[in-house]
Amino acid sequence: MKEHTQNFSNTPPSNRVQRTVYAAILLALALVLAYLENLIPPPLPFLPLRWGFSNIAVMYALYTLGSPSAYGICLLKAALNALSRGPLSALLSLAGGLASISIMSLLLRSRRSLFFISVFGALSHNLAQILICLFILPKGSFIYLLIPILLLSIATGLISAFLLNLSLKSTQSKVLALLLLPLLTLSACHKAELSISKTYYDVFDTVVELRIDAHPDAEKLIEAAHDKLKQMHKLFDRFHSYKGVNNLYTLNQMAGEEAVELDPLLFNLIQESLKYAKASHLAFNPSIGAVTAKWQAFLLGGSDHFPEPEELTNLTSLADIEAIELDASKQTVFIKNKGMAIDLGAIAKGYACEILASDFRAAGVDSALINLGGNVKILGKRNDGQTFRIGINNPYYKLALSCESNSEEAERLSLIDKRYAALIPGAKSKTTEAPSEDNSDLAIAQILSLENRSAVTSGIYERFRFHAGKRYHHLIDPSTGYPSDRYDAITIIAENSTLADAYSTALFNLSIEDGKALLADCDPTAAAIWYLKDGSLAESNHFSDYQAK
């Protein structure tokens, strides 16, 4: 280590007191950078990754004090993340830090250049975090991120190398760099010093991202939004009861017996769902809860019993939105038909997005992103003046990753594009063509540029199960009781997130022309894109207006 640091004309502190003081300065710098880094929106949306600039201090310690000090700072930085952003953030910080220190320590011994070592240190840091995410978040979502991660690693590595090289030349420039690093980070923040982005995993059985830009109370508002999401999670739950809460489960249990007084959030959601059911001529129908519950048990593995036609006919006959009686003065709902149940799963997340957006606006928020498992609501523009950009999953890619190799669907995907067939688990290489680096963008179908809009996608790849070589999914056609078989996915863009969520389901049960007419009637600025079974696409008016240029 001493031989190598001499190559940079730098002499480490010579006595214990100096080394202790120097280590304390580096520790303070690492903690300050880690704190400031929490204020900057993440470089890759929907992932709990950060820029990694706080590791500059860790890398500095490695070069000047040795690996024990670097590991110590890494551990303390992870502890700070645990306190400020939770255990997942701490785990990611620790994994990234340990990986980068280990890789850089090995490269130091091989006398590689400072820039080479810094870039590979940043790369190993980000890749280690991605590996952790792969075990926590849904699979198949990270392949398309490898190139952005590589570019991000190179960028942060070069910046780190530049600052390290500058500070290692002399004692004066070393002190100058220590003083300037926090200022450089603050400068990079610009308005982002008031930006907060947090990710949660404990509501609506999905990944939730909440981001507010340029607002002094951003953190408090996000915490309040999380609390409201937890409240709505309980209210809209149709499978579990909660002490002291009249929720959807309570209401369905009392079907045919008596009216139930509900919280205004749930009462208003049911009211909204009936409005969209009537407007869509029951293509979206919240009264088929008994049917969807039967499918839910099969799709999620709670039961191996495949729903029989006679069962579905009987359950479908119970569905009737006219049997849902609302009393606004008492905030009560009565389901007249015994055995009938309400299912709000096709509208609840969109409604929750609107509730949070309304709360944010009331608090003076001009720029925000709300993402409830792919139900995205955008307020304003980002604090750098640019519109928010949202990536839409390629449904054929998602289908391939979750397809059975001997199914009808596997043959269909191979006809659309051999690259999809190569992704199917168990696919034979001699009959498929593996994706090349040029096809690394297969996972993303569209990039949308949105301002004060919502985007919601429904796809048959989310909740499903194969039976007799066919995929059965959660998007049910109310007229038949069976999963809709028209499309692979539909994305709706509209001003109102509740509408976008409800109609992303309704359009699955309508022809393309009827779907276009429904959108035009309810919101002249709304748009949609259909992904058809043969791999072709259909777009409504205005969809191209929202595509990123």
Q: What is the mean pLDDT of the chain?
A: 81
DSSP 8-class letter at 496:
-
**Residue 523: which residues within 8 A CB-CB, separation 6 or more?**
494, 495, 496, 499
Tokens of 216: 């002094």
CA 524-527-530 angle, 5° bins: 145
Per-residue pLDDT of 498-523, as tens digits, reads 999 999 999 999 999 999 999 999 88
pLDDT score at 292: 96
Per-residue pLDDT of 150-175, as tens digits, reads 676 667 666 666 665 555 544 444 44
Spatial separation of the C-alpha atoms in residues 318 and 189, rounded to whole Å: 57
- Report the percentage of the chain scoring pLDDT > 70: 72
Q: How many CB atoms lie within 10 A of CB 522?
A: 16
DSSP 8-class letter at 53:
T
Q: Is the torsion defined by CA of 442, 448, 449, 453 positive or negative?
A: negative
What is the chain's length? 549
Is residue 549 very low, low, confident or very high in pLDDT (cuts 50, 70, 90)?
confident
3-state DSSP helix/strand/coil % of the chain, to nearest 5: 50, 15, 35
Residue 450 has phi, psi (to 5 degrees) of -125, 145
Q: How many CB atoms lie within 10 A of CB 107?
A: 18
Mean pLDDT of 123-147: 63
Mean pLDDT of 384-408: 91
Tokens of 12: 């480490």
- For 329, counting Cβ atoms within 10 Å of its Cβ (0-12 exposed, 13-18 middle, 19+ buried), the class is exposed
Per-residue pLDDT of 342-382, as tens digits, reads 999 999 999 999 999 999 999 999 999 999 998 999 999 98
Spatial separation of the C-alpha atoms in residues 77 and 192, rounded to whole Å: 21
Spatial separation of the C-alpha atoms in residues 322 and 286, rounded to whole Å: 11
Mean pLDDT of 189-195: 47
Q: Whole-model pTM?
A: 0.68
Tokens of 452: 């004060």
Q: How far is CA 546 from the centre of its chain?
A: 20
